[in-house]
Structure 1
């Protein structure tokens, strides 16, 4: 074992009657471990939020929306679907309509977004069919041999939270009221209204969608909103979600004006930008904990230098160089930082694994959009945390080590 390493490790132990020095060392290690553990847990939670929100958003919405300027919609959806499907990296396409309506039952009412879909092609671009929790086998038929998903023209699919708010279950009646396109009755103008039977209930796990989305067939939506053969837009799924922007630009170039492509990052830019900014801010704030622990290392080593003054003088008098003395205390500080980093990393990983497995911390879905605290441990985050902690620990050793190296051996052992 090198001389500097041997002496540095010996100095970590307290001499008899000087246990206070060893206690300060343990406190320094604990401070580093606490800071590292907090950083790992918080960044894992932030990464988990971003992953879960992205998966739930992309489970409800496709990677790309192709829409048209103005209120006319896509008037030739069949031809447009063929042209979009021929673009490289496009995996699946599906037409849709999009309208804001009010749903009412005998027990309640509320606003919702009503989307007309072709269920057979929509299940290729979204996770709607995989999120069904209750299905009426008569009005909503799953895929069979030679046939895909089929939704009754009088059937409607609603979210679990929306069904609870309306007080309706499978087979219940729901009135869809459109605030646009009033109809003339003997009593004057009245909102357009039509009754539907709940054929299915889905649960995406995201309250914002489960409480405000409803689906009907695209043909029924075209008839109800008097759209003719046009649709609001086309949903597109690509083979790599991070190439959605480039694929959207290519689709927009091929279709030309007035078509516009909007990718999932554009549609939810504010949400993901806020999550990224919050993750950076939390990293900076929690790094302060590690910085405080680094100051503890400075104070610990400074006290060690004062306590070991006579021994430093003896070492220098028998031939130890200033560089060796400096290395001794740098080794001591780095060991404190390394042990604290290892303990903090292990503690943070254990906490994250327990939360990921047992969902110890639950959330209110209507407030946080998710029902439990999500966890995603990234290797890059852990490497960044560990390396940053070790760098701070190294920097914390410089001043005390320099003070020890500059100690005059004559002054140190004069009264010994």
Structure 2
């Protein structure tokens, strides 16, 4: 194949032809369509990834990487010592879980109460650690509540409230709910309303006294690689003790996000597919207009392979140039969204006030590969069509 000949013809065909302006308008539309499709896909997938990572970050902290919990067998100090013996580098925060009602004046607020060792909990939960930043001393019956609940209670730090526990105590011939005055020393801000309004933490020593419970509801574990370590933990624990990872606790939520991401990718990829149809129509129109010229080149010695290469490369040039321009525009759009506060989000709804954008290498590769394959397939048919031009039929009456 004569590469110089193919290159010369491609350069000639890329020039504007006054006789057939619609062909070049169609080329420009195809280029703009691919550019828009690639840029839109990059920005959209970047936003989806950013939001996914933000939600994952919030849920990972409040749900913890791995949780060991009582199922058929109780979790106690022996369980904790067993875990520390086999995995000394992991961080552990044993907890007692119960439900309670906070009474302040005439208002009642239900919460999920965790009794934790404040020091150990702060080591694996940076949101809780931030809440204890200015706290120097923690008493037995001290409580940390969520920011939203703290605001609803209308109290100041250090004030006492009444906490009504779900456990009941015998009183004469009847029963009475268990009440205790506790001190609210601070509040945490997770950025998620469900947590900030419905979760509270109490000193585990105080909760043990109130509930008369010497065993744990479970143990929160921090590990750098929970996906692998969860199987190791399961092997050393006796049957009847449950082990669950943060991703399993929110499996349906992340499955829905993944499906939404795939659907968005496919829908936006249609923009590139539509743009590729313009490449097909443009090349076919050019083949029809240059039919005699193609037949003449073939009669003078040009091979069908060379004719096919001319139109295949012509389509690829338009498509690849559109992909490169779209990539540049997409990265610029991502940079603008990251640098400037163009889009503001309600923090109480999304857990973040600034639009998070993060395009992963895998998604970027899929976008570029998908766009290139679409352009390639769109260029093949016109190229094959051009190579099958009948020389005798075309030049018979010329």
Look up the match of 1:268: 250
Write the deviation string for residues 273-318 of structure 1: whole angstroms up to 9, x where unpaired: 2222222222222222222122121112111212222322232232
Look up the match of 1:65: 67
Look up the match of 2:321: 339
The offset of 1:415, in angstroms, is 6.4
8 Å contact kept, 1:108–1:165: no
Asked if 1:194 corresponds to 2:147, the answer is no
Look up the match of 1:19: 21
Per the normalisation by structure 2, the TM-score is 0.90
The offset of 1:259, in angstroms, is 1.5
Look up the match of 1:147: none
CA distance in 1, matches of 2:358, 2:195: 23
Match among 201, 215, 222 for residue 237 of structure 1: 222
Partner-residue secondary structure (3-state), 2:334: helix
CA distance in 2, matches of 1:366, 1:27: 43
- Unaligned runs of 5+ residues in structure 1 are 142-149
Write the deviation string for residues 125-158 of structure 1: whole angstroms up to 9, x where unpaired: 22234433x85x4xx22xxxxxxxx522232112
CA distance in 1, matches of 2:145, 2:152: 11
Look up the match of 1:7: 9
Asked if 1:291 corresponds to 2:285, the answer is no
Look up the match of 2:164: 177
Which runs of structure 2 are paired with 1:148-159 in the superposition (5 Å)?
150-159=137-146
The offset of 1:169, in angstroms, is 3.8
The offset of 1:183, in angstroms, is 3.7
Count of equivalent residues: 396
CA distance in 1, matches of 2:315, 2:107: 66
- Unaligned runs of 5+ residues in structure 2 are none
Asked if 1:55 corresponds to 2:65, the answer is no
Look up the match of 1:206: 192
CA distance in 1, matches of 2:14, 2:128: 61
Write the deviation string for residues 188-211 of structure 1: whole angstroms up to 9, x where unpaired: 644323232321122123333223
Asked if 1:100 corresponds to 2:99, the answer is yes
Partner-residue secondary structure (3-state), 2:389: coil
The offset of 1:413, in angstroms, is 4.9
8 Å contact kept, 1:97–1:116: yes
CA distance in 1, matches of 2:168, 2:153: 24
Partner-residue secondary structure (3-state), 2:86: coil
